[in-house]
Amino acid sequence: MIYPRVALIGLGLIASSMYWAMKRAGEAGHVTGYARSQETRDTARRIGLCDQVFDSLQETVRDADLVVLAVPVGAMGAVARDIAPHLKPGCTVTDVGSVKRQVIEDVGPHLPEGVHFVPAHPLAGTEHSGPESGFATLFDNRWCLLVPPEGSDADAVERLGRFWRALGSNIDVMDPDHHDLVLAVTSHCPHLIAYTMVGVADDLRRVTDSEVIKYSAAGFRDFTRIAASDPTMWRDVFLSNKDATLEILGRFTEELFALQRAIRTGDGEQLHAYFTRTRAIRRGIL
Ligand code: NAD
């Protein structure tokens, strides 16, 4: 058993998927879970999520070898502050947040000497949330990026890597700022653009009498699936990864204006060349 006792804080998509993946891997020794709401605790108990479910952070992290912060990025700091006095010396605290620099700054200072902090980000998810949305195969063959702050304990990092491998992931280690820039391109800005497209369609619906949504063709459906994602999680992602997302949005806007101009001026050559280049790139992504 890599970690005999694991505590999961925030029983949503990621934490529940981790639990089922731990079960499948034979890595669920004793697992506790914390949820704020009675409804989530009732649901967790009904579906057998965790060995024990608590409404107390203190009870949840008591004796845990690994504590996983699986709450929205904006809530990580407050949770770290509240669990800090109750952590077992020598334990590892990790998180699964979609932004890393801000989480490291929010969580790190609260943790006592002798507790290892190894931030991580599993690059796996769906547009669903809550304790019933999790499933054991979510992390299979997906990357999990470990983002250890400078001076992290090498054994603690290696052990967390083994744990994520047991849950099905491939592991890479990344610097936090680089992580935040890469994720701004691959995940954060695409979500913002999908949200925007749905907003535009909804505005238009008032003009076209609901036809946009009713007849939404494959392009709109495929492209906007991720706009059904949790609003709290995504609000926090943008507020916490402000610099990188603004940088990428600036570049995106420039490209969009260039294409807009090509359409207005009838520059088919430019459009064709652009789409040919991007098709080749997109086809290279499995
Ligand atoms: P989720 O909405 O399914 O679950 C989050 C849970 O945290 C909810 O049960 C919520 O009630 C609880 N919560 C919120 N604020 C809290 C607080 N202050 N204290 C205690 N509990 C609180 O979300 P999720 O998709 O499991 O996301 C969890 C984390 O994982 C986020 O930081 C997110 O950035 C990250 N993440 C999400 C995805 C994804 O695609 N959904 C992928 C990778 C990482």
Residue nearest to atom 40 of ligand 1 (CA): 125
Quote the ligand 1 centre to 94 CA distance (angstroms).
14
How far apart are the C-alpha atoms of 172 and 164, rounded to whole Å?
A: 11
Q: Residue 207, exposed/middle/buried by CB under 10 A (0-12, 13-18, 19+)?
A: exposed
Of 154, 174, 194, the position where a domain reaches its end is 174
Of 56-70, 162-176, 205-219, 231-245, least confident by mean pLDDT is 205-219
Q: CA 92, CA 67: separation in Å to the nearest integer?
A: 6
Q: 16 with 155, same domain?
A: yes
Task: Please check whether residues 110 and 42 belong to one and the same domain.
Answer: yes
Verify whether ligand 1 is closer than 6 Å to residue 71 (CB atom): yes
d(CA 14, ligand 1 centre) in Å: 7
Closest alpha carbon to 3 in 152, 167, 170, 159: 159
Q: What average pLDDT does range 145-166 have in this prediction? A: 96
Cβ-based neighbours of 133, under 8 Å, separated by 6 or more: 12, 13, 16, 126
Look at residue 233 and tell me whether its pLDDT is greater than 70.
yes
Location of structure tokens 């108990």 = 45
Determine whether the shortest distance from the Cβ of 129 to ligand 1 is under 6 A. Answer: yes
Average pLDDT of the residues of the chain: 95
What CATH number does residue 196 fall under? 1.10.3660.10
CB atoms within 10 A of CB 257: 10
- What phi, psi does 211 have (nearest 5°)? -70, -30
- Of 145, 174, 203, which closes a domain? 174
In the chain, what percentage of residues exceed pLDDT 90?
88
Atom of ligand 1 nearest to the CA of 40: 9
Q: Do 159 and 260 reside in the same domain of the chain?
A: no
Same domain for 85 and 25: yes
Please tell me if the CB atom of residue 118 comes closer than 6 angstroms to any atom of ligand 1: no
Q: What is the pLDDT of residue 210?
A: 63
Q: How high is the pLDDT of residue 208?
A: 60
* 228 shares a domain with 146: no
Domain match, 46 and 149 both: yes
Q: Are residues 221 and 104 in the same domain?
A: no
Contact 130 CB / ligand 1 (< 6 Å): yes
CA 44 to ligand 1 centroid distance, Å: 15
Q: What confidence score (pLDDT) does residue 65 get? A: 98
Complex ipTM value: 0.98
| Domain boundaries, position 154 | 5-174
User: Which atom in ligand 1 lies closest to the alpha carbon of residue 75?
Assistant: 18
Give the model's pLDDT for residue 114: 95
187-201 tens-digit pLDDT: 999 999 999 998 888
Q: How many structural domains compose the chain?
A: 2
Contacts of 147 (CB under 8 A, 6+ apart): 100, 104, 119, 120, 121, 173, 174, 175, 176, 179
Whether residues 263 and 165 fall in one domain: no
